[in-house]
Structure 1
Amino acid sequence: MFNFDRSSYISYLKLVRNVSILGIIVFFGYYLTLQLQAGTAQIGYIYAGFASAIGTAITSYSIIKMKRNAAGSR
């Protein structure tokens, strides 16, 4: 249907994955800091951390799958 460059798409997925990893570190780090300091934390940060973890897993799987397809087609 449309033509796209595989390497630029993979680099875009890597960017999304890196942002998701940063999200995991930031949100879970912030959550643990709140827990240790105050003993209370907002549940939204846990959800944001899990959403970042799911995004990381999906993009990592896509990158591995695309690289495997590219290696197999050569």
Structure 2
Amino acid sequence: MSSVTVELDLPQDWNQFRMPNALKARLTDLLDQQDNGLGLSESEREEAQALTELSDMLSLMKLRAEVAERGRK
């Protein structure tokens, strides 16, 4: 596993790192469809996977921003 360090200028309100509501709603719809036994098409599975990865990445960015902010204080 390799590691890359990226420096970013964080927005003033980094707590806003989250998936937009429309994308969150779409992911919820896809997961509900799957949970209700309706199944997903290949493109819907790919979309759900991409949205899940985006959500995970934004959560990680928010967590790392919080840790970095604490380290500056």
Structure 1 match to 2:53: 54
Residue segments in structure 2 that go unaligned for 5+ positions in a row: 1-8
Greater C-alpha Rg = 1
Residue segments in structure 1 that go unaligned for 5+ positions in a row: 36-40
Aligned length: 64
Structure 2 match to 1:6: 12
Shift in alpha-carbon separation, 1:17–1:54, aligned structure 2, 3 A: farther
**Residue 22 in structure 1 maps to residue 22 in structure 2:** no
Q: How large is the RMSD of aligned CA atoms in angstroms?
A: 2.5
Shift in alpha-carbon separation, 1:26–1:52, aligned structure 2, 3 A: same
| TM-score (norm. length: structure 1) | 0.65
| TM-score (norm. length: structure 2) | 0.65
Identical residues among aligned pairs (%): 8
Bigger mean CA deviation after superposition, 16-25 or 45-54 = 16-25
Q: CA deviation at 1:66?
A: 0.3
Shift in alpha-carbon separation, 1:57–1:18, aligned structure 2, 3 A: farther
Q: Deviations over 1:16-60 (max 9, x none)?
A: 26555433321122244423xxxxx42111111101100011000
